[in-house]
Structure 1
Amino acid sequence: MKFCMLTTFFGSHSFGGDAAFVDRLSRALARQGHEVHVIHCRDAFEASRGDQTPRPYSAPPGVVIHPLESRAGVLSPLATHQTGRPLFKARAIGRLLHDIRPDVVHFHNLSLIGGPGLLQIPAPGAIKFMTAHEHWLVCPLHVLWKHDQSVCERSECVRCCVKSLRPPQLWRMTPLLDRSLRHLDALICPSLSTRREHARRGIVARMMHLPYFLPHDYTGMPAAATPTPARPYVAAAGRLEKIKGFQDVIEAMRRLPGLDLRIAGSGQYEAELREQARGLDNVLFEGRLDAANVAALFRGARAVAVPSLVYETFGYVVLEAFAERAPVVVRNLGALPELVAESGGGLVFDSPDGLVEALGKLASDDDLRRTLGENGHRSRHGIWSESEHLDRYLALIDEHQQRHRERQRTGPALARAVAAVKRREPVLLPEEAFEPVR
């Protein structure tokens, strides 16, 4: 089959978990002999990257990358942000879809490549999916973090955008999103939590639960030596932002002097975290590490802390910890406790005391650490394996292809029936027209 992935950031011009997922899915499909095309917006990366430079990336055999650049430059993603439509990119994307003629069009992060309006772009005969990698459909800031203070439970989107120094998106007050979602065959949610949050915040679409995965060759990455620490440590990794909650783990270290915290990553909140950790000899900043060195860090840890303050849609770092047999300690929010419940691979906390207690247990109890780590590792090779994901993904495609064929078969008969009713004539419908809608 031919697949076309449309996403804002990808490959050399990317950051974040959505680009990692698109890369992993594209490679997995190509390994099975499918043809994969990835369309992404280079202008959006230039508008958003700050001081981050493009990283090395080469596409594997079977994956073709189509970076989009407009004469309008960074004005192109800005126009999409404000109108919710592809505008400067519509013609180029339309030409690519016409030339590729994909069997499946899979939308991912649409925020700056085309907005919800991109879902309406013609792709005759193709199945259309979208994966909700973030809460962008229901939150202009993507993460349901209100006024930079707390989880959003009651929306004040315009005020929140202004306080975050972002221009409000007036298209969110129009029917554009609802109309665009009708063009999807399915909205794929990586977790049950994500599906619940979208439903309760007003998204009307056929939503399917299909979790992320780690590729078969994930453990085949270049090896890095596992550190032999002088002291036991807990690891944390990710972008150093307030919403990731690392400040709560730093605070817990004041009460755990026999345990170190080693944080891998960089980001805009790094200075505040370093200031908070001043005087704490058991808090260490590792800087930005590549995947192999993050894996080595996790491998030697008593636990990996994932204290996110927002509704994570999944939590790739949990799977990466499980790949190294490291148990996790997660906040009871969003998809994170769901992953722990499914795997039995960690502990969940609700409060600062609960965080200290969980870290203390895993620091001192070898049997508990080993049991939880093995549970997580087994689940990573089962629930969240590449083969499990692809089996379910391809089955979903097959289901919708059958639905398309049924609609093509019954559509003309139903159209004739409607015309006959208007003329007040007797109506004979094919038997398939009476099948229940699922």
Structure 2
Amino acid sequence: MKFCMITTFFGAHSFGGDAAYVDRLCQALCRRGHEVHVFHCVDSFNAVRGEHPLRQYTPTPGLHLHPLESGRGIVSPLATQATGRPLFKSKALREILDADDLDVVHFHNISLVGGPGVLGLGANRRAVRVMTAHEHWLVCPMHLLWKYDREACDKEACFRCQLAGKRPPQAWRYTDAIPRGLGHLDALVFPSRHALEEHRRRGIGRWAPLVHVPYFLPDDWSGGVEDHEPPPTERPYLAAAGRLVAMKGFQRLIPLMKYLPEVDLRLAGTGPYEPELRRLAEGLPNVRFEGLLGGDALAGLFRGARGVVVPSLFPETFGYVVLEAFATATPVIVHEGGGAIRETGAESGGGLSYRTDSELLGAMRRIVHDEDLRSELAARGFARRIGPWSESEHVHRYMDLIADCRAARGAGRRLRADEAEAGQGPAVPRAEGRRSRVV
């Protein structure tokens, strides 16, 4: 089959997060003999990257990259931000979206690569069209439901929030652009039940079938470190990782380390909030900044940790760091205000959750010093990674979703909820296949 992935950031021109999922899905499809084309916006990456380094990236065989560069620099993403249309990128996108041999179009983070206008672009109406909502962009101009860059959004104040966040105006949000765009989709996919319900509560379910398909990691992501005892360290340590921004909550974690002098905190990542975090860590010799890590280096850091702390303050849609910790047989400690983080990290059975700083401190002490508890949590988390969050399970669900969308089209109707199993854990077999969860 021939797939087209459309997203804003990818490969070398990315920050992780949704781009990591797109890359992993592309590689999984290529390993199974499919042809995959990825269109991503270099103009957008350059406009917002600041000092973020380019990632080293080599596409796998079968993966074809189409970096979009308009020659107009920042004007291109600004135009898309304001109008909700691809504009300077539309010609290049039409070439693939008009192709008769295209089987599947999968949209991801489209905020700056085309806005809602890209969802209906192209003459090929035979191809199945799906979109994964990696963020809350469909219901939040700031993408994250993080208000005034200081608190989770519990009441809409979008215009004032955009002004405070210095975001360019998005006039198209006051039109029918989103309903019209979503009307071209066969399914709108969410990596967590929490994100799906948040969007349904805000009315998105009126315009597209909502589907739950969790993220996954490639089978070899951790390099096999989970099969070996971690190398001994002089001192036990807790790990944390993510982009160093205020909403990730590391500023709540670092000061608590003065109450755990027998334990180190090793924090991986880079970002604009790093100077403030380093200031908070002054005088705390047990806080170490590891810089930007990926792949084997991150897996090694997590494998040697007593636990991975995920202190996100905003409602995440999944939280890849939880899955990455589970892949190394390491439990997690998650903030209950982190949206899907609680679902993936605590309700899955692989970690502890907390609400207050004192509860966080208590959870860290327990996971460091209670070996029986740590082993039990680690085993539960790893079971999720090799079961419902495995590559093979994900690809089965993904291909079944495509087949169901195609079948619904052939019958002249939309995907129905009764075509999918709604249980938890591994999907229920249907003949030789599995089902996605559709709501």
Tell me the TM-score normalized by structure 1.
Answer: 0.90
CA distance in 1, matches of 2:215, 2:34: 19
> Aligned-pair distance for 1:16?
2.4
Letter in 2 for 1:365: D
> Aligned-pair distance for 1:30?
0.9
CA offset digits 1:379-436 (Å, max 9, x no partner): 100010001101111111111111111129xxxxxxxxxxxxxxxxxxxxxxxxxxxx
Q: Which has the higher helix share?
A: 1
Letter in 1 for 2:56: P
Given candidates 346, 360, 365, the residue that maps to 1:360 is: 365
SS in 2 for 1:72: coil
> Aligned-pair distance for 1:267?
1.0
CA distance in 1, matches of 2:130, 2:99: 20
SS in 1 for 2:185: coil
Count of matched residue positions in the alignment of Structure 1 and Structure 2: 409
Across the aligned residues of Structure 1 and Structure 2, the Cα RMSD in angstroms comes to 1.9
Describe how 1:193-272 pairs up with structure 2 within 5 A.
193-203=194-204, 204=206, 205-220=208-223, 226=230, 228-272=232-276
1:77/1:225 Cα in 2 relative to 1: closer, same or farther (>3 Å)?
A: farther
SS in 1 for 2:300: helix
Describe how 1:25-424 pairs up with structure 2 within 5 A.
25-99=25-99, 101-122=101-122, 123-203=124-204, 204=206, 205-220=208-223, 226=230, 228-333=232-337, 334-407=339-412
Letter in 2 for 1:210: V
Identity %: 55
Letter in 2 for 1:173: Y
Contact 1:116–1:176 (CA under 8 A) maintained in structure 2: yes
CA distance in 2, matches of 1:213, 1:66: 24
> Aligned-pair distance for 1:291?
2.3
SS in 2 for 1:99: coil
> Aligned-pair distance for 1:343?
3.0
Letter in 1 for 2:320: Y
CA distance in 1, matches of 2:156, 2:224: 42
Stretch moving more, 359-368 or 97-106: 97-106
Letter in 2 for 1:179: R
When Rg is computed on C-alpha atoms for both structures, the one with the higher figure is: 1
CA distance in 1, matches of 2:22, 2:294: 19
> Aligned-pair distance for 1:226?
5.0
> Aligned-pair distance for 1:138?
1.0
Letter in 2 for 1:196: E
Contact 2:350–2:380 (CA under 8 A) maintained in structure 1: yes
> Aligned-pair distance for 1:40?
1.0
SS in 1 for 2:4: strand
Tell me the TM-score normalized by structure 2.
Answer: 0.90
Contact 1:30–1:36 (CA under 8 A) maintained in structure 2: yes
Aligned residue for 2:430?
none
SS in 1 for 2:220: helix
In structure 1, the gaps of 5 or more residues are 409-437
Aligned residue for 1:428?
none
In structure 2, the gaps of 5 or more residues are 414-438
> Aligned-pair distance for 1:75?
0.9
CA distance in 1, matches of 2:177, 2:69: 25
Contact 1:227–1:297 (CA under 8 A) maintained in structure 2: no
